[in-house]
Structure 1
Amino acid sequence: MARIKPQALLIQSKKKKGPTRISITTIVMCNLIIALIALSLVATYRYWSRRSPDQSGSDLSTLEDIGGFVKKYDLPGYAILNTSKGPITVELFKDGSPEVVDRFLDLCQKGHFKGMPFSHVIKHYVIKGGGSQGLGAAEDWISKGKLRSQLVTRPKHEAFMLGTTKNRPDDKGFELVITTAPIPDLNDKLIVFGRVIKGEDVVQEIEEVDTDEHYRPKSSVGITGVILKREI
């Protein structure tokens, strides 16, 4: 039998027992993949933690656009009208007045109501935000309302309802009206799209401000901002 030379035997032994070498490139790529997976998990956790139920009711400065439209069940159902007298929380009638609510929400996103003054305060009737004359002369409106109250036994507008005046389709204005007493049949002038569920005392405090003969507040009082919420 032929004898194997020691040098050849040593080389053969190294081939059998030597560990498999992993290139530096492979190690770096594996580390990068692990790092990317970790970052992805952290980012996913942060995203869903921000959308938790506790956070979903916070200030919605923007509405989430899904596929070019906002899904109805994602729309805020409540609005907090922050006023110089305190907050007024209203429930929005998304099903009863969807078009008006959509327009109201859109204007909230654009800051339309920030700094809006209450231009007319009519005690035991309404407080109105906005500067146009959509309701007509206050004296005329009151006299008609009192006349109708004698003829109509079942009021269609209760106290603490949120509405807006009926404007022309091309009118870019949007006034806010909060009733402070049951008002008989204002359908020809008012569209109700919500109701006050918290802050009735604030409405009553605004109602008590001093006004001139045209029912305009003598001291400045108005809306400082609006916060939209999905849930209360």
Structure 2
Amino acid sequence: MARIKPQALLQQSKKKKGPARISVTTIILNSLIVVVTVFFLYATYRHWSQRSRTQIENRQSVFKGDTDSSFMDSKKSDLPGYAILDTAKGSITVELFKDSSPEVVDQFLDLCHRGHFNGMLFRHVIKHYVIQAGDSDKLEAAEDWTLKGKHYSQLDTSLKHEAFMLGTSKKKRDNGAFELFITTAPIPDLNEKLIVFGKVVKGEDIVQEIEEVDTDEHYRPKSSIAIRSVTLKQSV
């Protein structure tokens, strides 16, 4: 048997231990797996991150909405709910409609704090219509109501037509004037003339006593009757 030379054995050993070749297909597949895995992890991260942020914003929005609502309710509840008009004939207590006429009530309260109504005269008294206090000596709206000549017995007795409602003229007040009207009977088309922002809850007899004073042909009281002062209260 022929002997193999040592150099030949060494060359055969190197050929057997040589590195294996990796195919292109395997490289592509592995690369795709890595890319898909990274994309999946990134998509998962974005999903949960966005969901967490949305939940936080919703909670903040709800909290803010509750806070704003609570603040507005608190602010509204802090406003006086009643005004007591001290007149030469006696006191008239009015409940203010803070919910239905907030802007007018705010203006009325501001004028009360500034003493705007102190000493204000009842300028016109029209039986079975209104008593009107204000700075102007012109009759304007109240006289227009008397020209309609409607039969009050046929009126709808809804809230807007009731007696003893407190309102102010809808006319634009460039000079800061603020007239007060207290109805003494159901008034037709009241909402067309006045912004109703309160109702007499005590002192209806005082309103009727003012209504009975003697007036001239222009519905002006012959003897002066004034609002001495206005007291604001949370409750009565």
Q: TM-score range by the shorter chain?
A: 0.5 to 0.7
- 1:148-187 equivalences under 5 Å are 149=152, 152-155=155-158, 156-168=160-172, 170-187=174-191
Question: Which consecutive unaligned segments of at least 5 residues does structure 2 have?
Answer: 1-70
What does residue 147 of structure 1 align with? 150
Q: Which of 100, 103, 116 is the matching residue for 2:104?
A: 100
**1:217 corresponds to which of 221, 225, 229:** 221
CA–CA separation in structure 2 for the residues paired with 1:152 and 1:127: 20
Deviations 1:136-157 (A, max 9, x none): 164432122x338587544532
Q: What do residues 59-86 of structure 1 show as CA deviations (whole Å, max 9, x unaligned)? A: xxxxxxxx9xx92111000000000000
- Within 2, Cα distance between the matches of 1:73 and 1:137? 33
Partner secondary structure for residue 147 of structure 1: coil
Report the AA paired with residue 147 of structure 1: K
Q: How far apart in 1 are the matches of 2:195 and 2:121? A: 20
**C-alpha distance in structure 2 between counterparts of 1:150 and 1:226, whole Å:** 34
Q: Is the 8 A contact 2:118 2:230 kept in 1?
A: yes
Q: Per the alignment, do residues 201 and 173 of structure 1 end up closer, same or farther by CA in structure 2, a change over 3 Å counting?
A: same
Task: Flag structure 1 segments of 5+ consecutive residues without an equivalent.
Answer: 1-66
Alignment of 1:1-232 (within 5 A): 71-132=75-136, 136=140, 138-144=142-148, 146-147=149-150, 149=152, 152-155=155-158, 156-168=160-172, 170-232=174-236
Cα separation, 2, equivalents of 1:95 and 1:129: 24
Would you say the 8 A contact 1:113–1:225 is kept in 2?
yes
Q: Give the distance between the partners of 1:137 and 1:229, measured in 2 at CA.
A: 30
Q: After the TM superposition, which segments of 4 or more aligned residues of structure 1 sit over 4 Å from their partners?
A: 148-152
TM-align CA RMSD: 2.2
The TM-score with structure 2 as length reference comes to 0.64
Paired residue secondary structure (1:191)? strand
Shift of 1:132: 2.1
TM-score by length of 1: 0.65
Which entry has the higher C-alpha Rg, 1 or 2? Answer: 2
1:139 & 1:231 partners in 2: Cα distance?
35
Do the aligned residues in 2 keep the contact of 1:88 with 1:202 (CA within 8 Å)?
yes
Matched residue count: 163
